[in-house]
Amino acid sequence: MVEFVTTSEAPSLIPDNRDKFRLLEVFADAVTPASRLVLSALRSATLLDRVVARSLAPFGLHHAQLNALMLLKKHRASGVRPSMIGDCLGVSRPNVTKLLMRLKARRLVEERPDPADGRAVLVVITAEGETVADQAWDRLSADLAMVVDRIRPETRASLGTLLEEFRHGLAGALTGDECDPGRDADPLAVEQ
């Protein structure tokens, strides 16, 4: 059974206690088990977004920028085409362009000509970009560890499996260009 945390029990990392998914309480009589699960997932995602935003704010980053920096760190020797960044982050070409412009303005990344194709460029992380990415990742990891530590150990063991199954269920519900289940793996995942 899913337990719901009231806003008064919300983690201290959350800047305020506003919760825009209070629909569980508002429509308690009309909520089906499936919609309860989905609303709980949406509620959790909203709170997680706020924890991540608060963790990254001191570094002037949002999560997509940190993800791009971590991807570029992984490919620091070769660099990455902007299109690959978009594919890995699941964002449009115009959004990748804006993201990279912001990172270039802060000198966290730079562009270099692609030796394999003179018309293309490769994005490469700078030393300063690596430093910021490492510091931001350490802060985010510590803050997320505090969140995970609030979960009972016996529940924590099965949470990863449950979330993975839910994510695959969501991917299976999408069709056509919206989702390619063959590309469902996390491109930023670290091999163990």
- Percentage above 90 pLDDT, the chain: 52
* pLDDT at res. 25: 63
pLDDT, tens digit, for every residue of 97-141?
Answer: 999 999 999 999 999 999 999 899 999 999 999 999 999 999 999
- By mean pLDDT, which of 22-26, 61-65, 184-188 is the weakest? 184-188
* pLDDT at res. 29: 65
pLDDT, tens digit, for every residue of 30-53?
Answer: 668 887 788 888 888 999 999 999
Q: d(Cα 128, Cα 75) in Å, to the nearest integer?
A: 16
How many residues in the chain?
A: 192
DSSP for 13-65, written as a single string: TSS----TTTHHHHTTTT--HHHHHHHHHHHHHHHHHHHHHHHHGGGT--HHH
Q: Which residue has the higher pLDDT, 21 or 121?
A: 121
Q: Domain ranges in the chain?
A: 61-173
Q: Which residue has the higher pLDDT, 42 or 14?
A: 42
Q: Answer whether residue 171 shows pLDDT above 70.
A: yes
* pLDDT at res. 61: 97
Q: Answer whether residue 160 shows pLDDT above 70.
A: yes
pLDDT, tens digit, for every residue of 132-152?
Answer: 999 999 999 999 999 999 999
pTM, full prediction: 0.72
Q: Which two tokens stand for residue 162?
A: 């449950």
Q: What are the start-end ranges of the E strands in 47-149? A: 109-114, 117-125
* pLDDT at res. 11: 41
Q: What is the CATH number of domain 61-173?
A: 1.10.10.10
Mean pLDDT across the stretch 49-71? 96
Distance of CA 42 to the CA centre of its chain: 14
Q: Which residue has the higher pLDDT, 157 or 124?
A: 124
The answer to whether residues 71 and 85 touch, using CB atoms and an 8 Å cutoff, is: yes
* pLDDT at res. 94: 93
Burial 5-26, CB ≥16 within 10 A → b, else e:
eeeeebeeebeeeebebebbee
* Angstrom distances, CA of residue 91 to CA of 44, 85, 140: 22, 8, 22
* pLDDT at res. 20: 53
Count of alpha carbons within 13 angstroms of residue 44, beta-carbon side? 15
Q: d(Cα 167, Cα 172) in Å, to the nearest integer?
A: 9
The DSSP bridge partners found for residue 125 are 109
On average, the pLDDT of the chain sits at 80
* pLDDT at res. 34: 81
